[in-house]
Amino acid sequence: MIQDTHYNEQNFGKGDYQDLDYILLSHILEKVNGQSYETLFNDMYVYPLKLKHTDFVWADQQKLKEIDFLFNGQNVDMNVIHGLLGVGSVAMSNDDLYKTSLDLLNGKLLSEQNKDIIYAPGNNALHYRGGLYTKNNHYESNGNGYGYCNFLRISKDGKNAVVLQSADSSHYGDLSNSANKIYTDLFGK
């Protein structure tokens, strides 16, 4: 992936999501801390938040089955996935995804000041920061990979949320629209 990376000066100063950003950050964290990304992730999220159904997608099949994460019949190269640390390498149940998102927004993972800095509107046209798209009254996140997709819509205080996950990503757009509609129907815009 790194050998295929090229600088485009037209993107200078603009938000431009790239998987590579998170991959590099994960490997930097490993080097600086002298620990595996898995250990760092578990120490930061899984253990303190007492997550019960969260693991890396290369975990044993029984654990993934407990999370309801299945590869939908796709032939997936775990070596490739393992090389994409920080990008779609974690599977969570709906409950764990909600709990993690809630704790991110309520100060258990970030201070209020850091949360305000990360999720403040800016020059990024998509308003994408820290894994969430900032909307007027809520945040959104979407994931898609290995035939699996997920959608989170959560109020800024974390009290209202819709989590939708599917082992069939062929209807990604429809599922995203459904998550939006469910959130709007339940909680308004």
Encode pLDDT of 123-137 as tens digits.
Answer: 566 677 888 888 888
- Tell me how far apart the alpha carbons of residues 150 and 165 are, in angstroms, rounded to a whole number: 4
pLDDT reported for residue 64: 65
Residue 169 is which amino acid? S
Of 103, 99, 97, residue with least CA distance to 149? 97
- H/E stretch holding 148 reads strand 148-155
Stretch 60-67: mean pLDDT: 66
pLDDT reported for residue 137: 87
Lowest pLDDT segment from 50-64, 73-87, 111-125, 129-143:
73-87
Q: What is the pTM of this model?
A: 0.78
- Tell me how far apart the alpha carbons of residues 139 and 124 are, in angstroms, rounded to a whole number: 15
CATH 3.40.710.10 fits 15-187, yes or no: yes
- H/E stretch holding 141 reads strand 138-145
The pLDDT-based confidence of 173 (bands split at 50, 70, 90) is: very high
- Tell me how far apart the alpha carbons of residues 130 and 139 are, in angstroms, rounded to a whole number: 11
Lowest pLDDT segment from 79-83, 92-96, 122-126:
79-83
Q: What is the mean pLDDT of the chain?
A: 81
Cβ atoms of 100 and 51 closer than 8 Å: yes
Most confident of 104-108, 122-126, 138-142: 138-142
Question: Residues near 166 by Cβ (< 8 Å), separated by ≥ 6?
Answer: 148, 149, 150, 175
Count CB neighbours of 162 within 10 A.
22
Distance of alpha carbon 109 from its chain centroid, rounded?
A: 15
Structural tokens at position 143: 């994931």
pLDDT reported for residue 77: 59
pLDDT reported for residue 83: 52
- Tell me how far apart the alpha carbons of residues 151 and 138 are, in angstroms, rounded to a whole number: 13
The pLDDT-based confidence of 146 (bands split at 50, 70, 90) is: confident
Residue 185 burial (CB < 10 Å; 0-12/13-18/19+)? exposed
The pLDDT-based confidence of 39 (bands split at 50, 70, 90) is: very high
Beta bridge partners of 99: none
Most confident of 4-8, 42-46, 54-58: 42-46
Give the single-character DSSP code of 59.
S
pLDDT reported for residue 133: 87
For the stretch 59-63, contacts whose Cβ atoms lie closer than 8 Å and that sit 24 or more positions apart, written own/partner, are 59/91
